[in-house]
Amino acid sequence: MLEKDNLQNADGQEDTIKNEVSENPVENSESEVEISSTSTTEGESIENVADSELAENTLANDDNDLGGEVEEMQVDDNTSQVDTASANDDNDDDSDESEDDDEEHEETDLDHVGSIAAANAEDSEDETNAERHEIEEIDYHALSLEQLVKEFENLVASRKIQTIRKPVNEIKSEFNQKYKALYEEKKEEFVNEGGNEIDFYFQSDIKNSFNVVYRDYKGKLNTYHKELERNLNANLENRLHIIEEIKGLINVEENINTTYKHFKDLQEQWRHAGPIPRNHYNDVWNTYHHHVEIFYDFLHLNRDLRDMDFKHNLEEKRKVIKRAEELGEIGDINLAFRELQLLHKIWKEELGPVDREYRDEIWEQFSAATKVIHDKRQDYLNNLEQAFEDNLVVKKDIIAKIEAIAKKDIKNHNGWQQGIKEIEALREAFFTAGRVPRANNQECWNEFKAAVRSFNRAKNAYYKGLKKDQFDNLQKKLDLIKIAEDNKDSTDFETVTPLMKNIQNQWKDIGHVPRKDSNKVWKQFKSACNYYFDRLHDKQREADKELYDAFDKKNELLKKLKSFELTEDIQKDKKKVQEIIDAWKSIGHVPNNKRFIEGKFNKVLDGIFKKLKIDSSKAEMIKYENKLESLSNPDDTRALDNERSFIRKKIDEIKSEINQLENNLMFFSDTNSDNPLVQEVHKNIAKQKEVLETWKQKLVKIKDMY
């Protein structure tokens, strides 16, 4: 059977890993933060705060809602098993991926401060954001199924489990699409070969490997979420305890300096207390800042300490502003944006208030530096969108080329094999072309699948018809085998030999048979034919024993000539070579199918003549005499007649060439001049005359043979 196909369809397998994990606020914490960006000035007050003098310690975007208790993630080990009976559920897996795709674009509707607040809010329950950014972005669309599984394994083995959700979702999406394509291709082949669709079953080792890695990932993620929940609640308890201690400072009867030092220690503990559950975030932060401001009101009794704190905070905030302005000059906009996030976090969570007279001024400076980076990032994202649009144009062009190939009227196996190679190259180009706008992604993918499916259906239809032809060809070849085997022992060589040659020619014209039978029938046919022709050759050798003996003798002389070594006595060497030549001539004719030995003999002579420095014309005549000996046959002079006609024709051609050269000399005024062109013509004439003389000598030799 001819190999039907080495091309994967571009459709997806109707099989999927079903994610039955209940919706989990912790898992989605990176994108479900509610951001309020309605206020961007630092000095606005916080609700229920009695004294607004120090309200800048919470930027207007402090009211991020990080709500949502951490729920325990339940993972069913069976949820990732392949279920070929429900293969149409593939799209169910992508519900948790949509929020990750183009996540950088979701903040474009916010102002420059709101975008920073939104980015920081994503990290409010997770301190591994920096590591998440360090993960190299890979175009998973360009990877094969095996490469996707390998990349998945590397991520799970080498990265913190909470940092890889986005690449895992991308890998899962690409794997499902490509596996679905493989599944549908195998099913279509099964049906085209006569199978019933309801009986189709396909299970791949690569799918099993993916499921194993996916279960490992979900198990580790579940463990991480449980541990995270415990840590968040512990941090919450710690922060509430710190607030209670700050509240108690107001009523402590001790030296104000001691109280202030205790307050600074509590602030330092607060900075390192770690993340807390979202649903407590706003209340806890507002409560903390409220009691911090009450404490600063209490410090009115000692303005020196408060002014010293204000001064320190002002100096630190100016350093932050300077660094933010420097970030606006670096080329790596993503790096600048991530560091700007950190600066906003420091400004908001670590640095306290400044004197009211500087408050608006430094906030406006910081906001202006933030806007520079924000605007650059917006330009970068816009350019990225344009790149996606360009990729879409490239992929549309690839789809058009696939459709054009699918519409070709291909009539033979070689044509289809060429088409398969072209489609495979276009598939590879499609997968490596890069991302397209999200709004066009599914449509582009569907068009690609449809185009490749159209080609595959036409290809499969051709090979389905070809199978029938191959079985017909098999029967024809079996008939020829029977003829060959029935006649291989025949002694009527005159009648059977043309028959055997005829069926060999018929065999060549029949065409392909099923691959599983190809070698078997060829060996049968070849064996029968070889058996007959070996018998024929043995009989011919027996009839032409004298000729074959002559061949054996010439073969021995050829070996002797090949091993001939020159001495310092050239004349003696020439004599020995001539003796070998004379012996060669005396042996006589060889079978027609062995006359190639004459050419081998002359070729060896050429090498020896060059070493002996024998005149080329003389050497040519010696070799020619050997040739004439092989052509001579008293009973049939046709070979000599043909050779004589050939030499006469060559003589006429050379004479015509000499005449042409002599005519060319007439175009020069002085045919005896030193003009290089004139000299070159004279050389050619002399050379042609030498060649003419050699051919005339050959003609004389032929005449002597009659």
Rounded CA separation 364/366 (Å) = 5
Of all helices (H) and strands (E), which one includes residue 502?
A: helix 493-510
pLDDT at residue 593 in the model: 79
In whole angstroms, what is the distance from residue 606 CA to residue 623 CA? 9
366 neighbors 322 (Cβ within 8 angstroms): no
Residue 34's SS3 state is: strand
Give the whole-angstrom CA distance, residue 279 versus residue 61: 16
Q: Give me the residue label for tokens 């950190």.
A: 342
- In single-letter form, the type of residue at position 250 comes to I
The rounded distance, in Å, linking the Cα atoms of 272 and 617 is 105
Residue with tokens 């409560």: 287
513, exposed or middle or buried, with CB in 10 Å at 0-12, 13-18, 19+? Answer: buried
The tokens 């930027």 sit on which residue?
Answer: 59
Residue 65 sits at φ, ψ, to 5 deg, of -90, 105
Closest CA to 269 of 309, 312, 296, 235: 235
Report the half-sphere exposure of 426 (CA within 13 A, side-chain side). 27
Secondary structure (H, E, C), 539-607: HHHHHCHHHHHHHHHHHHHHHHHHCCCCCCCHHHHHHHHHHHHHHHHHHCCCCHHHCHHHHHHHHHHHH
324 Cβ partners below 8 Å, 6+ apart? Answer: 340, 343, 366, 369, 370, 373
One DSSP character per residue, 458-490 reads HHHHHHHHHHHHHHHHHHHHHHHHHHHHHHTT-
Task: Give the closest residue to 577 by CA, choosing from 547, 542, 605, 603.
Answer: 605
Instruction: Report the distance separating Cα 104 and Cα 194, nearest Å.
Output: 50
Q: Which of 629, 610, 637 is nearest to 554 (CA)?
A: 629
- Quick one: CA dihedral 648, 650, 651, 653, positive or negative? positive
Q: Quick one: tokens of 34?
A: 């509610």
What is the per-residue DSSP string for 234-269? HHHHHHHHHHHHHHHGGG--S-HHHHHHHHHHHHHH
- Most distant pair of Cα atoms in the chain: their distance: 146
644/652 Cα distance (integer angstroms): 12
Instruction: Tell me the residue type at 353.
Output: P
When computed from its CA atoms, the radius of gyration of the chain, rounded to whole angstroms, is 47
Q: Which parts of the chain have pLDDT scores under 70? A: 1-137, 139, 141-142, 192-194, 253, 300-302, 543, 615, 626, 629-636, 669-673, 706
Q: Which residues are paired to 34 by β-bridges?
A: 65
Instruction: Kindly state the DSSP code that residue 65 receives in the 8-state scheme.
Output: B
What span, in angstroms and rounded, lies between the C-alpha atoms of 522 and 515? 11
| pTM, rounded to two decimals | 0.40
How far apart are alpha carbons 343 and 350 in whole angstroms?
Answer: 10
β-strand partners of 65: 34
Q: What is the pLDDT of residue 301?
A: 55
Q: Taking a C-beta distance cutoff of 8 angstroms, is the pair 333, 373 a contact?
A: yes
Does residue 102 come out as left (phi exceeding 0), alpha (psi in the -120 to 50 range) or beta?
left
Q: How deeply is 281 buried, as exposed, middle or buried, from its count of CB atoms within 10 A (0-12, 13-18, 19+)? A: buried
pLDDT tens-digit profile of 609-638?
777 777 677 777 777 776 776 666 656 677
Phi, psi of 196 (to 5 degrees): -90, 130
**How many angstroms separate the CA atoms of 219 and 101, rounded?**
24
Task: Please give the Cα distance from 136 to 127 (Å, whole number).
Answer: 19
In sequence order, what are the residues at sequence separation of 6 or more whose Cβ sits closer than 8 angstroms to the Cβ of residue 52? Answer: 43, 45, 46
CA pair distance 228, 30, nearest whole angstrom: 14
Dihedral, 5, 11, 17, 19 alpha carbons, nearest 10: 170
User: Could you give the CA distance from residue 349 to residue 343 in angstroms, rounded to a whole number?
Assistant: 10
- Burial of residue 347 (CB within 10 Å: 0-12, 13-18, 19+) is buried
d(CA 154, CA 570) in angstroms, rounded, equals 78
For 499, the 3-state DSSP assignment is: helix
With CA atoms as reference, report the closest residue to 226 among 463, 39, 394, 27: 27
Which of 27, 8, 16 lies closest to 80, judged by CA? 16
**Would you state the structure tokens that stand for residue 676, as one six-digit string?**
């290089």
Task: Decide if 452 contacts 423 (C-beta within 8 A).
Answer: yes
Burial class (CB in 10 A: 0-12, 13-18, 19+), 652: exposed
Whole-number Å distance between alpha carbons of 614 and 618: 7
Instruction: State how far the alpha carbon of 354 is from the alpha carbons of 3, 49, 53, 296, in Å.
Output: 79, 17, 9, 12
β-bridge partners, 13? 180
CB contact at 8 A, 281 and 65: yes
| Sign of CA pseudo-dihedral 499, 500, 501, 507 | positive
What CA–CA distance (Å, rounded) separates 580 from 536?
34
Provide the terminal-to-terminal Cα distance of the chain, rounded to the nearest Å. 61
State both tokens at 201.
């079953």
110 close to 37: Cβ distance less than 8 angstroms: yes
Six-digit token string for 288: 């903390």
CA atoms in the 13 A half-sphere facing the CB of 115: 23
